[in-house]
């Protein structure tokens, strides 16, 4: 049974069960312009007690969230903000969300408190249905969490809305170029990558981009494969067809696209982020789209630039600034 067939079957099964509230209703304080991993949909994979047969198990789900929280809570704290991540294993939705929240103490003590969002509270929700998708892996789930964190701190370009969230493509780029590398940097990625079935072209690109540094190249490979797992899920949910490293999206955006790119375009973005050699300690910025990123005019590592399928270099607006931030 293919992943798509299984999802359709589980949706049909869920339709006959008791209705489950959609995230926007189940979480009453969530902002209306919350940033979701994929466009909101009616797909569901309920927890039927057999989740270890495909996708990510409940134990691994918790481990992935804990690893990312341990790294990124101090980052948000240094910004004067509180990162609140909820792993909603019982929620069958195939999605994840990022949004600004309200002060949880105020909500509890004042019976709801003010209806205004408080930008000091940065929320991320990851739903169990997404983790249970048969194409999902633990590293793919980490990429999801990194993407949602990216909406909060991923830099320019930003989407329209009330809270200046990094747009979808930029959050993908942040996830691969910064977050995955930051969370996994102390792990034995050489051993992990050696156990993965990896396209030779990806290994070669990672070795070339990271100047044959075995540890950096292995982290690049692992990040790329996490991107492939997630792209397969995204392709299945969006009906985009097969995705792969050898079939890049050749489209060119007339202007920078803030919406969800096609699955292949998103895979290209994950690969670009993995190949970018700018340090993960060099943050992407909400003041310039150049800081912390690989850009076309840089003499080396051009494979790490944001793909043209969603990012138009005209976004830079002033070409003379292209060499300022490295």
For the stretch 35-62, pLDDT in tens is 999 998 889 999 987 645 578 999 999 9
- Domain assignment of residue 227, given as a range: 3-321
In a domain, 268, yes or no: yes
pLDDT at 301: 61
326 in a structural domain: no
Q: What is the pLDDT of residue 20?
A: 27
Structurally, how many domains does the chain consist of?
1
> Residue 26: what pLDDT?
34
Look up residue 75 and give its two tokens: 């980052």
So what's the pLDDT on residue 323?
38
Q: Cis before residue 81, ω within 30 degrees of 0? A: no
Give the 3-state secondary structure of residue 218: helix
For residue 31, the model assigns a pLDDT of: 52
**Residue 209 falls inside a structural domain:** yes
Residue numbers in the chain where pLDDT is lower than 70:
1-32, 50-53, 103-115, 297-301, 316-326
| Per-position b or e across 159-192, b if 16+ CB within 10 A of its CB | beeebebbbbbbbbbbbbbbbbbbbbeeeebeeb
Look at the alpha carbons of 231, 138, 194, 3 in this order and tell me if their dihedral is positive or negative: negative
What pLDDT score was predicted for residue 105?
63
Tell me if 206 is assigned to some domain.
yes
Residue 274: per-residue pLDDT? 98
Greatest pairwise CA separation for the chain in angstroms: 60
- Encode pLDDT of 277-319 as tens digits: 999 999 999 998 889 999 876 545 678 999 999 998 887 665 4
Is 242 a member of any domain?
Answer: yes
Predicted pLDDT of residue 7: 33
282 in any annotated domain: yes
| 253 found inside a domain | yes
Query: Does 191 reside within a domain?
Result: yes
Question: Nearest CA to 292 among 306, 307, 271?
Answer: 306
Give pLDDT, residue 298.
57
Within 10 angstroms of residue 12's Cβ, the number of other Cβ atoms is 10
Q: Write the DSSP symbol of residue 179.
A: I
Token readout for 88 is: 């909603």
């Amino acid at each position: 049974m293919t992943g798509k067939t299984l999802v359709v079957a589980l949706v049909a099964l869920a339709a006959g069960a008791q209705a489950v509230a959609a995230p926007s209703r189940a979480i009453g304080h969530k902002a209306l312009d919350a940033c979701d991993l994929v466009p909101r949909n009616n797909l569901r994979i309920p927890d039927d007690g057999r989740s270890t047969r495909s996708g990510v198990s409940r134990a691994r789900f918790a481990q992935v969230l804990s690893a990312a929280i341990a790294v990124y809570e101090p980052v948000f704290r240094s910004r004067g903000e509180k990162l609140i991540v909820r792993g909603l294993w019982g929620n069958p939705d195939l999605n994840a969300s990022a949004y600004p929240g309200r002060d949880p103490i105020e909500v509890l003590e004042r019976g709801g408190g003010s209806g205004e969002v408080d930008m000091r509270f940065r929320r991320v929700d990851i739903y169990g249905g997404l983790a249970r998708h048969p194409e999902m892996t633990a590293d793919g789930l980490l990429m999801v969490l990194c993407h949602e964190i990216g909406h909060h701190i991923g830099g320019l370009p930003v989407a329209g809305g009330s809270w200046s969230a990094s747009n979808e493509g930029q959050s993908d780029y942040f996830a691969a170029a910064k977050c995955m590398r930051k969370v996994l940097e102390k792990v034995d990625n050489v051993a992990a990558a050696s156990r993965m079935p990896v396209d030779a072209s990806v290994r070669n690109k990672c070795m070339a981009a990271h100047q044959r540094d075995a540890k950096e190249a292995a982290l690049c490979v692992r990040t790329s494969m996490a991107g492939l797992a997630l792209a397969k899920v995204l392709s299945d949910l969006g009906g985009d067809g097969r995705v792969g490293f050898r079939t890049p999206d050749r489209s060119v955006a007339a202007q920078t696209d803030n919406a969800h790119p096609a699955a292949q375009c998103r895979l290209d973005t994950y690969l670009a982020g993995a190949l970018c050699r700018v340090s993960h300690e060099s943050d992407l910025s909400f003041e310039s789209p150049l800081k912390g990123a690989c850009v076309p005019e840089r003499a080396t590592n051009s494979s790490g630039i944001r793909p043209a399928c969603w990012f138009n270099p005209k976004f830079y607006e002033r070409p003379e600034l292209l060499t300022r931030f490295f």
